Amino acid sequence: MNSVCRRVGCSLLLALSLASHGHAQSFVFASANTRAQISDDAARASQNSFEQQNFLAVARYLAARLCHAPRVEASQGLDGPGAENSAMVTGCKSEPAAYLGELLGRYAHQKWILVFIPAASGRERMFVITLRGGDSEQVARQMRQRGLSEGTILEQEGRVITYIWVKDRSLDVGVHAFAEAGHGEIREIAGEGMLIGDDDRAQAQRTFTKKIFAYERAHKVRLSVQLWSRRLHDMGLDAPSR
C-alpha cells in the first residue's frame, strides 16, 4: 500500500460488504501499486492490469492457507489527490491476518499494510458506510470534498460500501456529512489498527521480513519461501478482465 497512513494519526477509508462479514474477524488492507500519485482514472484502469490480477490471486492463495473463511476483494485506494489499485482480505484471525499482510507487503514491495482488529474495548473505530447507487468516481469526489482524502472504495452490486478507520474524533464531522449527503447507512466498529511498514521502502521490506520470520519460527510455517517462486508470479495470467 503505497500511501496508507504515512502519518500515524491519519485515517484510512476501506470498503467491503459488511453484510457478508462479521465484526469478530480482522481486516487486512494492502496494495500492489508502487507508483506515486497516479490519477483516479489510472487507478481504475489498473483494476484490469496483470499487476492487480496477480496480487489478488496471490492474496487468495496465501489466505486460503492461513484463514478459515477468507475473502479477497479488489478496491480503489485514495492517496490524497491521487489513487491506487488495492485489495482487502477478511476472514482471518488477528495473528494470521498480520502475517498475511506482511507477506503481501513483502511480495509487492509496499511501504505500509494495515490490519484492523475489531474489539469491543478498542480505542479506535471504523465507520462503515453503505451508499446505494453511484460509483467510485463520484464517491472519491464526495470524500475529498469533506476532507476524507485517504482511503479505498469498493463497488459492489449496485452499491458502494466504505470503511473509515479513525484514531480520534477529528474526522467525525466529515464522515457523518459524507454519509448523510449520500443518504448512506452508517455503522461503527470499535477496535485497534496496526500499521506495519515504513516510509522508506527498503526499510519496510526489512520490517516485513523480520516479522514474517518471527511468525514462521513461532508457528512452524514457511509460506515466505514461495514469495518469489514462478508459481506465485504467474498467478492471475488466466484471470478475466474486469
What is residue 175's predicted lDDT score, i.e. its pLDDT? 94
Q: How far apart are CA 113 and CA 204, in angstroms?
A: 10
Check residue 103 and give its pLDDT: 98
Query: In whole angstroms, what is the distance from residue 34 CA to residue 221 CA?
Result: 28
Note the pLDDT of residue 1: 65
**Position 25 confidence tier, pLDDT thresholds 50, 70, 90:** confident
Distances (CA, A) of 188 to 56, 77, 82, 204, 235: 27, 20, 27, 30, 36
What is the value of pTM for the model shown?
A: 0.89
Question: Does 188 or 6 have the greater pLDDT score?
Answer: 188
Residue 7 — very low, low, confident or very high, per pLDDT cuts 50/70/90?
A: very low
Q: Which residues pair with 195 in a beta bridge?
A: 114
What does the pLDDT read at residue 19?
A: 40
Q: How far is 158 from 148, CA to CA, in rounded Å?
A: 22
Q: Tell me which DSSP letter residue 15 carries.
A: -
Pick from 137, 30, 121: nearest CA to 74? 30
Say how far apart CA 147 and CA 56 lie, in whole Å: 29
Q: What is the mean pLDDT of residues 103-127?
A: 95
Average pLDDT value for residue range 136-151 = 89
Residue 9 is predicted with a pLDDT of 40
Dump pLDDT digits (tens) for 26-58.
999 999 999 988 998 999 999 999 999 999 999
Q: How far apart are CA 16 and CA 52, in angstroms?
A: 17
- Note the pLDDT of residue 87: 95
CA distance linking residue 242 with residue 235, whole number of Å: 16
pLDDT given at position 90: 92
Cell 485517504 appears where? Answer: 150
- 240 pLDDT tier (thresholds 50, 70, 90): low
- Whether the pLDDT of residue 22 is over 70: the answer is no
What percent of the chain clears pLDDT 70, i.e. is strictly above it? 88
